[in-house]
Amino acid sequence: MAKLYFRYGTMDSAKSLNLLAVAHNYRKQGKRVMLMKPRLDVRFGTAKIASRAGLEADADLMIDEDTTLDPRDFAGLDCVLVDEAQFLPPQVIEDLRRITVDPGVPVICYGLRTDFRTRLFPGAQRLMELADRIEEVKVTCQYCAKKAICNLRFVNGTPTVRGPQIQLGADESYAPVCWAHYDEATKHASAEASGAVLRPS
């Protein structure tokens, strides 16, 4: 039986780059790949999947809150690749799980595991519950050599734990950090209004 994979990592861990490389390799071998992404991710354009390294490709399917996947639409594919999977509704994750059984197509999902408060995204939670294989895409902390496991959000250069769970942004809004630097920064998040900034140790 084909498998459902969840490859997760913090911001800046090259998840989209990994996805685009996998898509390139499949297509180079003459195999059929479908690229998917949530419609709400418009950072690089409505249908664009892009990496900070400059690689990009168009998504074949955009996912909304009310999307239902029909297994018949995936017959004949060799692989399904999903970008920003943490933003997918849990029911779409369940549809992807079913696609690995019938018609039996492997599905590889890339995304964040947790938000800037270290809480699971609903899509990521369902993937953690249903995936056959869970693999970490690693990157080091922005402020030290330890492994980054948290996504630190900034507003005007100041760390924050306030705001909606979903807030699209790039390098100016988020940083991959280890737990020690996340804890240090968020302990002082209440000082945002005074202009406090993270000072790595």
Which of 65, 84, 136, 172 is labelled catalytic?
84
* Rg value, the chain, Cα: 18
CB 107 within 8 A of CB 85: no
CB 39 within 8 A of CB 62: yes
Can you tell me the distance from the alpha carbon of 193 to that of 56, in angstroms, rounded to the nearest whole number?
38
Active site residue 84: yes
Which residues in 9-144 belong to E strands, given as ranges?
A: 33-38, 48-50, 56-58, 61-63, 79-82, 107-111, 133-136
The catalytic site residues sit at: 84
